[in-house]
Every structure is written in structure tokens, then in C-alpha cells.
Amino acid sequence: MLGEQATLLVAHHVDSRDTSVRRSYSFIERNAVGVWTVSLLAASLPNSREAPQTLVLEVGVEGAPRDAALDKVAPPTLAKQLLDGISAHDGVTRLHGSPAVIRSGDSDTVLEAIRDARRHATVIVASSIDATTDSTWHQIADSLTTQAIGNAAVFSICAEAVDELNSQLPATHQVHRGHVRTFAPGVDLDDPRDGLRHRFLNPGSLERSITKDSRSGKFRVANHLQKAFALPSRRRLLELDLPADVRRTQEILKKEELRVLRTATASAAVSTIASPTIKERADEAPVEIQSESKAPPSPLLKSIAERTLRIVRRWTNAEDLTVDSLEGLDRQVGHITAELSAAESQLDEAASKESRLVDETAELRARVEELELELRYTFDESVKHEREATVLRQRLARSAKPEDAFVDQLEDVWKDPESVLDVIDRITPNGKVHPAASRVVFTGTISDVEAIHDRDPFGRYAVAFWQYVRVLHDYAKAREMGFEGNVHMYITDDSQDGAKCSPDRHAGRESDTVLNNASWRAERVRPVPTSVDPDGQALMDAHFKPTHRDQVAPRLHYYDDTVAGGTGKIYVGYIGRHLTNGSTRNT
């Protein structure tokens, strides 16, 4: 039973076009701390690919900043009850009300969850120390992740399964005994740098926060660490884009909730205005009803006339019940109805605008996180290269030829371009002959390039791609001079003169997962001259990657035709957004 300070708001929407059904329950409670809302959204969307059956549970406190609300609000008991009672999945990842215990032979379940490109929740992996501590470890993992329920898929790994799981993961993504690691969405096991995104819980912090309950004898983790540990997972889920169908459902039900509230508010107002009985005012004369019939008017007719006059007087200030006064009331009602319709349209538009702004804010927050991560990658590279340059300069200064430490300036013709389109102009045969085009030729589609040009206002991608073109040009030149290695060997061979880039920015081939997928492989088959291949196309799985993590993640794919008997050139068949693989997400 709801208390006086509690409200239950139910919104329901059925779409006859596709038989989709949407419903939400919002429980709103006011107390001394604030206004709390628990909302449960349920949707059955037969035509949805991503979310045909969806449940979304949200909890919030009105007026509190996001971080303050995250600190105040814990997952409701309903979250655990739902996850314990139904089979709920995020992508292909099963969500549980408590950690899933993984024994020998079960590690594929964890690996599948880690690699799941469709999931939005985080994956938390807690690896036990040894078999004697498995039971204790499961208690600790359960307590630690109490406030991450519904926001993360938690796996407590028995000691017997730790090595089994790690054998399927690269060293950069493993979770060793006694450690707890959080895997964000979009894991790329083929990229060593991706490991930086998936953070470990400091073992010392965990150890200091563990106590044993004197009554139950169970081990538990201090509340402050539960909150701190769950915070990144909860914040990330708030910032990530939900599937388009779910966002659409939220928007539809939000509008329906507003309509329900407007109707309820209006009904309450009307009920207070309307009087159940009509009592004549002392200064009002009874209404006289003129009738062609000699029979006196019936009591019912007289009552209706008196009530009608009251309504006319209330809303039009007319004193008599006449045709003019009734038409005046009709005009006023029509005007109010038109105003109400316009107001409802404005409210619907405002709700749609708010929804768009929420989506844009979430996208911007995700973009900031990605840029911060990319900045970390770049900073690591900068520190490494600066150290190498300093050591080499010092050695040269002590050598017999210290003047060799001097670095010539680039010729103007090789200076950085202003945009990605400038890069394309330089390597496209179009009458403007650039030295780079003698060995590197663009054969791709300009629309793919324009898609990232629009996202590169300051030329960051342009400078990176130009560096890769210079690397390919100088590699082709080295091949011409007798070098027998491939592009990656050239990049890592300090004895070869010419432009270089970080080996981490180059991939000599795609993973087997990509190449064995017919659709993904086909995306990497790109145009080449018929002098290179009679079919006019070739597989271009080798590529450069100017960024490791961002929403565009542009790539440069190329085909190396410098082999004996070839044209001696490199053909760039694609510059554009990251092509589909196991880690890309639909946007």
C-alpha cells in the first residue's frame, strides 16, 4: 500500500503497426532526504534485432548532481530479485544477482562475456588465490560487487580455472590469482594497448577493507570500497548509448507518462471546481424557461438549465442563458482546446529535445573518456621516444661524430597537410604530381575519407595518415634499393633510412576472427589497377591505426605490390572509419 508521500505512475503504449508493447512503472517517494524514483521499463519489440525483450531498471534522486546521486543511490533489492528470477542478458552476456562461480571447464563463459561486442555492462573477473580459499574468495567477491548488481556481470573464478582462463587471454588482459579486474565494453584482445582500459582493483585496498562478521562468520567488504569499486561501472553505463530501440522506448513512455500526469492533474483540478450539487445564490433569480408548450417545464429540464447557466456564468461572466452566451462559451472552450493542443505539441517537442540532449551528452562523455585514453597512449609513446632520443643524442655527443645528432628540417613538399582530403590529393593521380604519388597511390572511395574529414577539425588524423604515407613511400624506395623485408620489418629495422612510425600503429594483417568471417573479409577487399590483379581488387588487411580507441577509430588499409615483378607501388584502398570486426559497435 502506497503512503501519502508516494506515487505510482504507470505508462502503457501499444503500437498496432508492429504489435510492440511498452510499459513503465515509476515509484516516486518523497521523504526528508529528497524525492526518490525507482523506474522499471519493460518492452516487447518483435522487430528489434538488438533488444526484442527488454527490461531497464533505473533509480534516481531528484535535483542531485549525477555523482552525488551515484553516491546516494544503491541498487534496489528489486534488481537482485529480477536477476535471480529471470534469465537476463546484456548482448550474449548473462547477468546474475550474485557472482557466477566459474570452475574448471567453464572459462569459455567468461571469455565470451569479455569479448561480447554487444554488451554495455562491465565484466568483473575475480580470480581466487588457491583451492583452500575458494569459498572465502566467493564471499569477498559477492560483498565487493554488491553495489554493482545490474551494472556488471561478475565472475568469481575458482583456483582450478584461473590458469585455464588466462591461457585463452593475451598477457595484457589476464587476471592473475588474488586479483580483481574490471573489463569495460568493447574489449580488443588483439590490441595490447587495450589492456590499459581494463583496470585492476588494488590488492592492498581490498585486503584492508575485508572484515569478518562476528554473527554470520562471513567475510565482507567495507561499504566505502563497495561504492568506490562500483562507481566506474555505474557511471560508464549511464554514459554509454543504449540500443536505439531502447532509447526510442524510453522516449515514447516518457511522453506517455507526461500525458498521464497532465490528465491526472487536469482531472483533479476539474473535480475541485465542479460542484456535485447546484445551489442558487441568494441574489440570483430562478431561471425562467420559455416553452411553446403550455405545460410547465419538467424539474429535470429546469435543473439542466440552472446548471448550464452556472457554467456559463463561471466561465464567461454572462448573466443570462442565451444563444450568444452559449456560443461565447463554445468559442472559449475551442480556444482553450487549441491552446492545450499546442502546449502538448510543445511539451512533446521539449521531451524529444531533452532526449536528444541526453544522448548527445552521453556521446560527449564517452568521447572525452576515449580522448583521455588516447592521450594516455600518446603520452606513453612520447615518453618512450623522448627517452630514446635523449640517450641516442648523448651517445652521439660522446662519439667521434657529434654533428650526426643534427636533424634536418623537412622539405616544404613533405610538410604536414591541413586535412585528410589534402592527403588524398597528394596521392591521387590528378595532374598535381606529388613525389609521394610515385610510390603510393590512393584507389579508394572519397566518401569514406569525407566521413572522417568531418570529424577531424584540427587535422590530427591528417598528420597521422601523412606520416604513414611517408613510411610507405620510403619503404617502397627501400625495396627498390634491395631491402627484402615487409612493411613491419622496415619500421622496426633501424638500419634502414627513411620515415618510420611506432610499430604499435601498424598491423601487418587482420586477426583470424576477421579473415574467417566472409562479410568482414569482404569489407577489406579494395580496388587496385588491373595491372596488379585482373579482377581489379585485392585483400587489404594490412593497415595503420592513428588512434587505438575513439568513436571513429580511422584506419588506412593498403596493398603492397613491391614484390618482384610487381608495379613497385603501394595502393591505399581505404581511408575511413574502423571496418567491422569483433570489437566494433553499431552507432
**Residue environment code for 454-486, b if the CB has 16+ CB neighbours within 10 A, otherwise e:** eebeebebbbbbbbbbbbbbbbbbbbeeebeee
Q: Encode pLDDT of 183-238 as tens digits.
A: 999 898 988 888 888 999 888 888 889 999 888 889 999 998 998 899 888 888 87
How far apart (Å, rounded) are the C-alpha atoms in residues 539 and 558? 9
List helix spans (H) across 73-133: 77-85, 107-115
Closest CA to 102 of 118, 114, 85, 86: 114
Q: What is the residue extent of each domain of the chain?
A: 87-240, 411-576
Nearest alpha-carbon partner for 91 in 118, 67, 71? 118
Q: In this structure, which long-range contacts are made by residues 363-366, counting pairs with CB atoms below 8 Å and at least 24 apart in sequence?
A: 363/241, 363/551, 365/239, 366/239, 366/240, 366/241, 366/551
Q: What is the pLDDT of residues 366-410, one digit of tens each?
A: 777 777 777 777 767 777 776 777 777 777 777 777 766 666 666
d(CA 216, CA 567): 76
Cα separation of 72 and 50, whole Å?
A: 32
Per-position DSSP letters for 51-88, written without gaps between them: -SEEEEEEEEETT--HHHHHHH----HHHHHHHHHS-E
Would you tell me the crossing angle of helices 323-398 and 299-316 to the nearest 10 degrees?
50
**Coil, helix or strand at residue 40:** strand
Q: Cβ contacts of residue 168 below 8 Å, gap of 6+?
A: 107, 108, 111
Distance CA 379, CA 386 (A): 10
Integer Cα distance of 159 and 130 in angstroms: 5
Q: What does each C-alpha distance from 68 to 7, 64, 172, 465, 583 come to in angstroms?
A: 24, 6, 34, 43, 32
Q: Which helix (DSSP H) or strand (DSSP E) does residue 13 occupy?
A: strand 6-15
CA 141/CA 179 separation, integer angstroms: 11
Q: How far is CA 313 from CA 156, 441, 546, in A?
A: 74, 85, 75
SS (H, E, C) 196-261: HHCCECCHHHHHHCEEECCCCCCEEECHHHHHHHHHHHHHHHHHCCCCHHHHHHHHHHHHHHHHHH
All three cell numbers of 62, joined, read 531528484
Looking at residue 292, its pLDDT comes to 55
- 10-residue mean pLDDT series, the chain (587 residues): 77 88 90 86 87 87 79 87 91 94 96 92 95 94 94 96 96 94 91 86 87 90 90 82 79 83 71 50 52 65 79 76 80 80 77 74 73 71 74 75 67 85 88 86 93 84 92 96 94 90 91 91 96 96 82 89 92 94 58
